[in-house]
Structure 1
Amino acid sequence: MSDQGSSILSKKRQALINKENRLLSEIEGSTTALNKSLNKTLKRSLLVGGALVAGYAVFKIISGKEKPLKKDKKSVEKLTHKTKSMNPVLAFLIKNSLALLIDSLKNKMIK
Protein backbone atom coordinates (compact mmCIF):
# COMPACT_ATOMS: atom_id res chain seq x y z
CA MET A 1 0.00 0.00 0.00
CA SER A 2 2.86 2.37 0.73
CA ASP A 3 4.30 1.70 -2.74
CA GLN A 4 0.94 2.40 -4.29
CA GLY A 5 0.47 5.61 -2.21
CA SER A 6 3.95 6.86 -3.05
CA SER A 7 3.43 6.19 -6.77
CA ILE A 8 0.16 8.18 -6.70
CA LEU A 9 1.94 11.03 -4.91
CA SER A 10 4.86 10.97 -7.34
CA LYS A 11 2.42 11.03 -10.31
CA LYS A 12 0.59 14.01 -8.80
CA ARG A 13 3.90 15.73 -8.06
CA GLN A 14 5.06 15.18 -11.65
CA ALA A 15 1.73 16.46 -13.00
CA LEU A 16 2.04 19.59 -10.85
CA ILE A 17 5.64 20.12 -11.95
CA ASN A 18 4.60 19.79 -15.61
CA LYS A 19 1.73 22.24 -15.06
CA GLU A 20 4.10 24.68 -13.32
CA ASN A 21 6.58 24.51 -16.21
CA ARG A 22 3.80 25.05 -18.76
CA LEU A 23 2.44 28.05 -16.85
CA LEU A 24 5.92 29.53 -16.45
CA SER A 25 6.55 29.24 -20.18
CA GLU A 26 3.16 30.90 -20.89
CA ILE A 27 4.03 33.75 -18.52
CA GLU A 28 7.45 34.14 -20.13
CA GLY A 29 5.93 34.20 -23.62
CA SER A 30 3.29 36.74 -22.62
CA THR A 31 5.89 38.92 -20.92
CA THR A 32 8.13 38.85 -23.97
CA ALA A 33 5.24 39.76 -26.28
CA LEU A 34 4.17 42.58 -23.97
CA ASN A 35 7.74 43.88 -23.79
CA LYS A 36 8.07 43.91 -27.59
CA SER A 37 4.72 45.66 -27.96
CA LEU A 38 5.68 48.24 -25.35
CA ASN A 39 9.02 48.90 -27.05
CA LYS A 40 7.30 49.43 -30.42
CA THR A 41 4.78 51.79 -28.86
CA LEU A 42 7.48 53.77 -27.04
CA LYS A 43 9.57 54.07 -30.20
CA ARG A 44 6.57 55.28 -32.17
CA SER A 45 5.70 57.76 -29.43
CA LEU A 46 9.26 59.03 -29.44
CA LEU A 47 9.19 59.44 -33.22
CA VAL A 48 5.88 61.29 -33.10
CA GLY A 49 7.09 63.49 -30.24
CA GLY A 50 10.34 64.24 -32.07
CA ALA A 51 8.44 65.08 -35.22
CA LEU A 52 6.15 67.41 -33.26
CA VAL A 53 9.10 69.15 -31.61
CA ALA A 54 10.90 69.46 -34.94
CA GLY A 55 7.76 70.76 -36.64
CA TYR A 56 7.17 73.30 -33.91
CA ALA A 57 10.79 74.43 -34.05
CA VAL A 58 10.66 74.80 -37.83
CA PHE A 59 7.39 76.72 -37.52
CA LYS A 60 8.93 79.08 -34.99
CA ILE A 61 11.99 79.61 -37.18
CA ILE A 62 9.96 80.19 -40.33
CA SER A 63 7.35 82.41 -38.70
CA GLY A 64 10.05 84.84 -37.63
CA LYS A 65 10.00 87.22 -34.74
CA GLU A 66 7.23 89.69 -34.23
CA LYS A 67 8.38 93.06 -33.03
CA PRO A 68 6.71 94.12 -29.80
CA LEU A 69 4.80 97.35 -29.53
CA LYS A 70 6.82 100.02 -27.78
CA LYS A 71 4.64 100.74 -24.79
CA ASP A 72 7.41 101.25 -22.31
CA LYS A 73 11.12 100.72 -22.53
CA LYS A 74 11.44 98.26 -19.61
CA SER A 75 9.00 95.69 -21.01
CA VAL A 76 10.72 95.84 -24.41
CA GLU A 77 14.12 95.25 -22.81
CA LYS A 78 12.79 92.28 -20.82
CA LEU A 79 11.16 90.78 -23.91
CA THR A 80 14.29 91.09 -26.06
CA HIS A 81 16.43 89.68 -23.26
CA LYS A 82 14.18 86.62 -22.99
CA THR A 83 14.21 85.98 -26.74
CA LYS A 84 17.99 86.32 -26.87
CA SER A 85 18.42 83.80 -24.05
CA MET A 86 15.96 81.34 -25.60
CA ASN A 87 17.47 81.25 -29.07
CA PRO A 88 20.58 79.20 -28.14
CA VAL A 89 18.46 76.76 -26.14
CA LEU A 90 16.01 76.40 -29.01
CA ALA A 91 18.83 75.96 -31.50
CA PHE A 92 20.42 73.27 -29.29
CA LEU A 93 17.11 71.42 -28.96
CA ILE A 94 16.43 71.61 -32.68
CA LYS A 95 19.91 70.42 -33.58
CA ASN A 96 19.87 67.44 -31.23
CA SER A 97 16.26 66.42 -31.70
CA LEU A 98 16.54 66.48 -35.48
CA ALA A 99 19.71 64.40 -35.35
CA LEU A 100 18.04 61.85 -33.07
CA LEU A 101 14.95 61.81 -35.25
CA ILE A 102 16.99 61.21 -38.40
CA ASP A 103 19.00 58.42 -36.74
CA SER A 104 15.90 56.69 -35.43
CA LEU A 105 14.22 56.95 -38.83
CA LYS A 106 17.30 55.47 -40.50
CA ASN A 107 17.31 52.59 -38.00
CA LYS A 108 13.59 52.07 -38.58
CA MET A 109 14.09 51.97 -42.36
CA ILE A 110 16.99 49.50 -42.12
CA LYS A 111 15.00 47.04 -39.97
Structure 2
Amino acid sequence: MDKTTVKIKIIAALGMDSRQYRNFTRALFELWATVIARQQNLLLESITTNASLWQWYLNEFEIIEQRFYNENNAYVDALLDAAILNDVLVSMAEEIEEYYPSALIKMYCNETDDY
Protein backbone atom coordinates (compact mmCIF):
# COMPACT_ATOMS: atom_id res chain seq x y z
CA MET A 1 0.00 0.00 0.00
CA ASP A 2 1.37 3.44 -0.87
CA LYS A 3 2.50 5.78 1.91
CA THR A 4 -0.24 8.36 1.31
CA THR A 5 -2.99 5.77 1.74
CA VAL A 6 -1.30 4.41 4.85
CA LYS A 7 -1.08 7.91 6.32
CA ILE A 8 -4.76 8.61 5.56
CA LYS A 9 -5.80 5.36 7.24
CA ILE A 10 -3.65 6.10 10.31
CA ILE A 11 -5.03 9.63 10.62
CA ALA A 12 -8.59 8.28 10.50
CA ALA A 13 -7.83 5.54 13.02
CA LEU A 14 -6.35 8.07 15.44
CA GLY A 15 -9.44 10.25 15.10
CA MET A 16 -7.43 13.21 13.87
CA ASP A 17 -7.57 15.53 10.92
CA SER A 18 -4.48 16.20 8.80
CA ARG A 19 -3.51 19.33 10.76
CA GLN A 20 -3.78 17.54 14.10
CA TYR A 21 -1.69 14.69 12.73
CA ARG A 22 0.93 17.12 11.44
CA ASN A 23 1.11 18.70 14.91
CA PHE A 24 1.30 15.23 16.46
CA THR A 25 4.23 14.36 14.18
CA ARG A 26 5.92 17.68 14.94
CA ALA A 27 5.55 17.09 18.68
CA LEU A 28 7.25 13.71 18.28
CA PHE A 29 10.05 15.42 16.34
CA GLU A 30 10.44 17.96 19.16
CA LEU A 31 10.75 15.10 21.67
CA TRP A 32 13.36 13.40 19.48
CA ALA A 33 15.23 16.71 19.14
CA THR A 34 15.23 17.15 22.92
CA VAL A 35 16.80 13.73 23.40
CA ILE A 36 19.44 14.36 20.72
CA ALA A 37 20.22 17.86 22.03
CA ARG A 38 20.78 16.45 25.49
CA GLN A 39 22.87 13.49 24.28
CA GLN A 40 25.02 15.54 21.91
CA ASN A 41 25.17 18.74 24.01
CA LEU A 42 23.60 20.84 21.25
CA LEU A 43 21.25 23.79 21.26
CA LEU A 44 17.72 22.47 20.95
CA GLU A 45 16.70 25.32 18.67
CA SER A 46 19.49 24.45 16.22
CA ILE A 47 17.85 21.07 15.75
CA THR A 48 14.18 22.04 15.83
CA THR A 49 14.56 24.90 13.35
CA ASN A 50 16.59 22.94 10.82
CA ALA A 51 14.61 21.97 7.71
CA SER A 52 17.01 19.17 6.74
CA LEU A 53 16.70 17.50 10.14
CA TRP A 54 12.91 17.88 10.04
CA GLN A 55 12.85 16.22 6.61
CA TRP A 56 15.14 13.43 7.85
CA TYR A 57 12.77 12.84 10.77
CA LEU A 58 9.74 12.77 8.45
CA ASN A 59 11.45 10.16 6.27
CA GLU A 60 12.20 8.02 9.33
CA PHE A 61 8.66 8.52 10.61
CA GLU A 62 7.23 7.29 7.28
CA ILE A 63 9.09 4.01 7.85
CA ILE A 64 7.54 3.80 11.32
CA GLU A 65 4.08 4.57 9.89
CA GLN A 66 4.39 1.77 7.35
CA ARG A 67 5.53 -0.72 9.98
CA PHE A 68 2.80 0.46 12.36
CA TYR A 69 0.18 -0.12 9.68
CA ASN A 70 1.61 -3.49 8.65
CA GLU A 71 1.59 -4.72 12.25
CA ASN A 72 -1.77 -3.19 13.24
CA ASN A 73 -3.80 -2.97 10.03
CA ALA A 74 -6.77 -4.93 11.36
CA TYR A 75 -7.17 -2.40 14.18
CA VAL A 76 -6.40 0.59 11.99
CA ASP A 77 -8.85 -0.47 9.27
CA ALA A 78 -11.56 -1.21 11.83
CA LEU A 79 -11.03 2.20 13.45
CA LEU A 80 -10.77 0.56 16.88
CA ASP A 81 -9.59 2.32 20.04
CA ALA A 82 -7.77 5.44 18.87
CA ALA A 83 -6.11 5.96 22.27
CA ILE A 84 -4.41 2.56 22.20
CA LEU A 85 -3.35 3.00 18.57
CA ASN A 86 -1.94 6.42 19.48
CA ASP A 87 0.09 4.89 22.32
CA VAL A 88 1.42 2.15 20.04
CA LEU A 89 2.45 4.64 17.35
CA VAL A 90 4.15 6.91 19.90
CA SER A 91 6.00 3.92 21.31
CA MET A 92 7.20 2.89 17.86
CA ALA A 93 8.25 6.47 17.04
CA GLU A 94 10.40 6.51 20.18
CA GLU A 95 12.66 4.03 18.38
CA ILE A 96 13.90 6.96 16.28
CA GLU A 97 15.42 8.38 19.48
CA GLU A 98 17.98 5.57 19.33
CA TYR A 99 19.74 7.07 16.31
CA TYR A 100 20.35 10.34 14.53
CA PRO A 101 21.88 11.57 11.26
CA SER A 102 25.39 12.37 12.48
CA ALA A 103 26.45 14.00 9.20
CA LEU A 104 23.49 16.40 9.28
CA ILE A 105 24.02 17.11 12.97
CA LYS A 106 27.69 17.95 12.34
CA MET A 107 26.82 20.08 9.32
CA TYR A 108 24.02 22.12 10.85
CA CYS A 109 24.30 21.99 14.63
CA ASN A 110 27.92 22.66 15.49
CA GLU A 111 27.25 25.82 17.50
CA THR A 112 29.57 26.80 20.31
CA ASP A 113 27.37 29.57 21.74
CA ASP A 114 26.40 29.16 25.37
CA TYR A 115 23.50 30.91 26.99
- Structures share fold, TM-score greater than 0.5: no
